[in-house]
Amino acid sequence: MSANENDRAVLALTMLGHATVHTFELSIPLLLSVWMTDFNVTAATIGGIVALGYSLFGLGALPAGMLADAYGRQPVIVACLIGMAGSFVLVSLAPNLIWLAVGLALWGIAASAYHPAGLSLISTGVTQQGRGFAYHGMAGNVGIAIGPLAVAFLLLVVDWRTVALILAVLAAVTAVAGFRLRIDETSGVQMDGGFDSPTTASEFVFSSRKLFAGGFAFVLVLVILEGLFYRGILTFLPELLKTSSTYRLSLSPGLHPRGTCMPGSS
C-alpha cells in the first residue's frame, strides 16, 4: 500500500469516526427535553443522568489511550463505534430512567475511546499530519453542525426511540466500513525506538506524577472549568429555548418534536 493510499484510509476512518462521535454527543441535548416529558422528571434529574454519560466520555480517555497503544488504534476506533451503536440501542429500548442512565453511561465509555485512538492514529499513520488534522477537524465540525440538525428534523416526524435506533444504525455502518479498511498505523513515522508508552499501572502512575508536577495541573483545572461552562450551556440550551416565551412565539404549533408539547400549549 502506498503512503497516499494509507493516508486516505486513515483519514476515511478518523473523519467518519469523528463526525459520528460528535453527532451522538450533540444529539443528547436535543433528546434531553424529550426525555424530561416522556419520563416525567425534572431538569436536575435528567441533567444528572446526562452528566454521568458525559463524565465517562472524558474520564474514559485515559484507559482508552492505553488500550490504543496496546492493541492498535483501528481496533479501538471500531470498538468505540460498535459500543456507541449498542448503547443507543439500549437507550432506544429504555423502559425507565435506570436503563436510560445505563445506556448513556455505556455510550460515554464507548465514545471516550475515539479521540485518543483517532488523534494518535493520524499522528503515526499519516505522512502529512498537518493536513490530516485539518481534515479530521473539519469532519468533526460537520458532525457538530449537521448531526443535531438531522436529529431535530427526525424528531418532527418520528419519536425519540426511533431516532436513537437510527443513530445506532449509523454507528454500526461506520464500524463495518472502518473494519474493512486496510491501514498501516505507523506509515507516517520512522520507528526508531522512541518513547515507550506505559504498559503497567505502576508505570502509568509514575509517568502521571511527573506530568502533574509541572504546569499541566494548572492547565487541566482551567480546561475542566471551561468544560463545565461549555457543557452546561450546551446541554440545557434546547430546554432553555423551549421554555422561552420569545422562542415559543416564533414556533408554529406543528414544529414541536413528536411526542412533546410546549409549555402553555394544549
Which domains are seen in the chain, by residue range?
3-188 (1.20.1250.20)
Query: What does the pLDDT read at residue 189?
Result: 77
pLDDT, average across residues 146-168: 94
Higher pLDDT: 165 or 234? It is 165
Query: What does the pLDDT read at residue 266?
Result: 39
Instruction: Check if the beta carbon of residue 92 is closer than 8 Å to that of residue 32.
Output: no
CA distances from 266 to 53, 253, 262, 263 (A): 33, 10, 8, 8
pLDDT, average across residues 85-90: 97
pLDDT, average across residues 66-88: 95
Query: What does the pLDDT read at residue 165?
Result: 97
Query: What does the pLDDT read at residue 241?
Result: 63
Higher pLDDT: 96 or 198? It is 96
Within 8 A by CB and 6+ apart from 28, the residues are 50, 53, 54, 104, 235
Higher pLDDT: 259 or 229? It is 229
**pLDDT band, residue 231 (cuts 50/70/90):** low
pLDDT in tens, 41-60: 988 899 899 989 999 998 99
Within 8 A by CB and 6+ apart from 3, the residues are 127, 187, 188
Query: What does the pLDDT read at residue 262?
Result: 46
Higher pLDDT: 124 or 262? It is 124
Instruction: Check if the beta carbon of residue 108 is closer than 8 Å to that of residue 60.
Output: yes
Nearest alpha-carbon partner for 101 in 90, 112, 111: 90
**pLDDT band, residue 96 (cuts 50/70/90):** very high
pLDDT in tens, 100-126: 999 999 999 999 999 999 999 999 999
- HEC letters along 185-241: CCCCCCCCCCCCCCCCHHHHHHHHHHHHCCCHHHHHHHHHHHHHHHHHHHHHHHHHH
State the Cα–Cα distance between residues 113 and 97, nearest whole angstrom. Answer: 25
C-alpha cell at 252: 408554529
Residue 257 DSSP symbol:
P
